[in-house]
Structure 1
Amino acid sequence: MNSSTFNPNWAVAPGPMIEEYRDAANLTQQELADRLGYSFKHVNQVIGGHQALTPEMALRLESVLGLPAHVWLSIEAKYREHLARVEQERQIDAELPWLKEIPYRELVKLGYVAAADRRSAVRVLQSFFGVSSLDMLPTLRTPYLAQFRKSDSFASNPYALLAWLTQGERLANGQSAGPFDAKLLRASLPDLRSLSQLPDTDFVEPLVEQLASLGVILVFVPAPKGAPVSGATRWLRPDRALVQLSLRHKSDDHLWFTLFHELGHILLHGKRERFIDFARNSEDGDSGVGEHSAEYLAHLDKEREADNFAAETLLPAAALNAFLSAGDLSATAITDFATASGISPGIVVGRLQHQGLVPYASALNRLKRRYRFSGNR
């Protein structure tokens, strides 16, 4: 049995019914207006469907024509719903071109939204982004993307990026967290980084739980094509921050550096700021800033501050220099040093590579862990 709702593409307007009952009562339209206590123009507009039939008029029609008020109101309600659906269908037709801008199939593949036909996909995306019309998306993206408009790393598809950010917030809304405590977060940094030593993805649950207790919600959201991001940070409210990781880089050195980079934004920078960190190759250095605005240059300074925070928190320079002074960069020496430092060996290898002390194409890469995530974490 098909339980789907039947939505006909037609509806009976109150006007023809009024006219039918008026004729049956042998009344002219003027006589009907006089008996109802309305002007001829008002009654004519209701009959023509240009003005809604009100509960007051329904009660008067009940007295004059005999049909109960609730029947008149039911006819009116169904007719107005029909008009609204017709307008909605017209709007959907107008918004179908958005399916060329938004990577809908990619979002389905990643589990952001359900699969649907083209027309239904518009409704699915409206619900996903929380808008009544996809035409509102350019306004939604502005606060996130304004500071990156001149960046060489800017997303090739801004709506793929907006979808990634939206999915992060949707996942975060389903999680509970305590109030943010900066002092406790700083004190917990050594414990957080020690979780990098756990095998495979065993670190995820304790990491998420510990951060949530400190007022930081952590979500892992695979990024769609066109959104070359590694992480993002923003404040959901004054006492709750959101850190979102894209899983673009699944090796432990990249993931933990990105996490601590985002935590650096939380501890070092303002709560009104949003930070979206685009993915960079390990070999990439700082690109020329060109003729960027002062605002963008200030943003770059904050990104460098977050980089420095992540590097120093994960592996203090003093400890690394002491290790380097021994002159032994063997796998055994690196593993022993990482264990003594309370971090995974892959983080040490990544740091050595970043500083140019170990080539990126090195046998030491076997010390890095490659994480396998299943679905959205």
Structure 2
Amino acid sequence: MMLVKPIRSESDYEANLARLGDLIDAVPDTPEGDELEVLATLIERYENDRYPIALPTPLAAIRFRMEQGNLTPRDLEEYIGSRARVSEVLSGTRPLSIGMIRSLNEHLGIPAEVLIRPEPRQEERASVELAKPAAKQLLAWGLMQAKESFEAFMARGLGGGQALAMLRKTRTERTNAKTDFVAVQAWCAAVLLRAENATVTGPFDLTEVRKLEIVRTLAKLSIHADGPRRAQQTLSDLGIILVILPHLPGTHLDGAALRRPKDGAPVIALTLRRDRIDNFWFTLLHELAHVAFHLTDDRACIVDELDIGSSEAIEMEADELAGTALIPDEQWEAWDVKGTYTGISDILAFARKMEVNPAIVAGRWQKTHRDYRKFSKLLGHGTVRPNFTDLIPGVG
């Protein structure tokens, strides 16, 4: 284990980011897991001190909470006042009063330090700054051009005038409280730039993609060493583009479901943040569920950090479909009888019965029993990314 030291320079920062990537799959409560936790804290502190993320404007925070909770302007009347007053606040013509701030803070959970900030002048509203670590990574990948403004990059990635609509309609409930949402949007734009010239081998048929047997067929590919690559071809046959793009600094995303602006073609994007077989297959099928059931003209992008639970209907549905395709609940409950000893031979036998990779059984066992040490060697650490070396920027 390397000696952990304070981060005092950009070179220290880059070295610690590289080490963090090596340790990302470390098991908790091990020397590597402890080092991962300490490194993550040091990196977060350095980024916060060196590249502080600006607070959102009061209007942006209110609109985000409305989007997150599916609230209408009428729902705000309880906290702001009459319909006319709500309209004035949302249009930016009426500032928030102390009473409104207290009510929005108490009932909608919007931080008071955000609500008390003044709204920027009209000419300042379009200016959004991307944090330097994220911009630096996009430049390194060749996706952002030298001296290109963030607005120009977003317009190029999201299809010109559609950029602002994309920003408003991205679903971000399943993200960390410290997530840099500007970097999330930049990552979405980068994904779409990677998908811009991608071709598929079959037409997209929504009825076909919604069939459980299709999703189950994908899950069964997990038994193959090159299963992730076979999944890419199967998705292509279904008219779906697969993009592999690591997450940006300030984000903790696992994946997303998007629509390509120029033609509406569905795109599944994965970060491979955790290079493990069980994570890959669950995330892939979760995003496929979003493609099949949840992307609409008004919801062109759904992003996910799957460590975070969600009570939102579309997230629960996607979790359920992914889990059912891999191992149906009734099969799991019949096998994983509480109190019954489970050994490696049991995992392997049940995986053969379910026609899935043993890593999927081991990963579900760990999550069910909250024991992340047992069966950790079965999870296939470090075996997914090698399937996509030609698709990962800076690798292929």
TM-score under structure 2 length normalisation: 0.56
Alignment of 1:366 with 2:390, yes or no, is no
Runs of 5+ in structure 1 lacking a partner? 1-94, 115-119, 287-296
SS at match of 2:302: strand
Equivalent residue number for residue 174 of structure 1: 197
Deviation at 1:275, TM superposition (A): 4.5
The equivalent of 1:213 in structure 2 is 237
Asked if the contact 2:205/2:238 (under 8 Å) is kept, the reply is yes
Ranges of 4+ aligned residues in structure 1 off by more than 6 Å: none
Q: 2:254 aligns with which of 221, 224, 230?
A: 230
1:72 alignment counterpart: none
Aligned length: 255
| Amino acid in structure 1 at the alignment position of 2:385 | R
Deviation of 1:101 (Å) = 5.8
Answer yes or no: is 1:249 the counterpart of 2:274. yes
Q: Is the CA contact (8 Å cut-off) linking 1:338 and 1:348 kept in structure 2?
A: yes
Percent identity, please. 24
**Residue 194 (1) aligns with residue 220 (2):** yes
Tell me the alpha carbon deviations over residues 109-150 of structure 1, each in whole angstroms, 9 at most, x when there is no partner.
Answer: 445346xxxxx4236x66643459xxx9983652344x43x7
Are the equivalent residues in 2 in contact too, given 1:161–1:227 (CA < 8 A)?
yes
How far 1:102 moved relative to its partner? 7.1
Structure 2 residue matching 1:194: 3-state secondary structure: helix
Question: CA 1:351–1:274 in 2, change beyond 3 Å: closer, same or farther?
Answer: farther
Match of 1:310 in 2: 322
Which segment is superposed worse, 245-254 or 157-166? 157-166
Amino acid at match of 1:193: A
2:303 matched residue in structure 1: 277
Q: Which one has the largest radius of gyration?
A: 1
2:121 paired residue number: none
Map 1:1-377 onto structure 2 (within 5 A).
Answer: 98=129, 100=131, 103-113=134-144, 120-122=146-148, 128-131=153-156, 139=164, 142-145=167-170, 147-148=171-172, 153=176, 156-177=179-200, 178-185=202-209, 186=211, 187-199=213-225, 202-236=226-260, 240-272=265-297, 273-281=299-307, 285=309, 300-325=312-337, 327-356=340-369, 359-362=371-374, 364-370=375-381, 371-373=384-386, 374=389, 376-377=391-392
SS of the counterpart of 2:272? coil
Query: Which amino acid in structure 2 is aligned with residue 351 of structure 1?
Result: R
CA contact (8 A) 1:99 1:122 kept: no
Structure 2 CA distance for aligned equivalents of residues 266 and 348 of structure 1: 25
CA separation of 1:97/1:307 partners in 2, compared to 1, >3 Å: closer, same or farther? closer
Instruction: Sort the Cα spacing of 1:101 and 1:215 in 2 relative to 1 into closer, same or farther, 3 A.
Output: same
Cα distance, 1:223 vs structure 2:
1.1
**Separation in 1, partners of 2:291, 2:240:** 9
**Local SS of the residue matching 1:175:** coil
- Tell me the CA shift for residue 245 of structure 1: 0.8
| Post-superposition offset of 1:161 | 1.3
Q: Find the counterpart in structure 2 of residue 26 from structure 1.
A: none
Aligned pair in 2 of structure 1 residues 197, 129: CA closer, same or farther (>3 Å)?
same
Deviations 1:2-45 (A, max 9, x none): xxxxxxxxxxxxxxxxxxxxxxxxxxxxxxxxxxxxxxxxxxxx
Q: Is the 8 A contact 1:101 1:159 kept in 2?
A: no
Query: Do the aligned residues in 1 keep the contact of 2:257 with 2:295 (CA within 8 Å)?
Result: no
Q: Note closer, same or farther for the CA distance 1:375–1:262 as it changes in structure 2 (3 Å cut).
A: same
1:59-109 residue CA offsets vs partner (Å, 9 max, x unmatched) = xxxxxxxxxxxxxxxxxxxxxxxxxxxxxxxxxxxx999465672212234
RMSD value, Cα: 3.4
For the residues of structure 1 that align with 2:391 and 2:151, how far apart are their CA atoms?
21
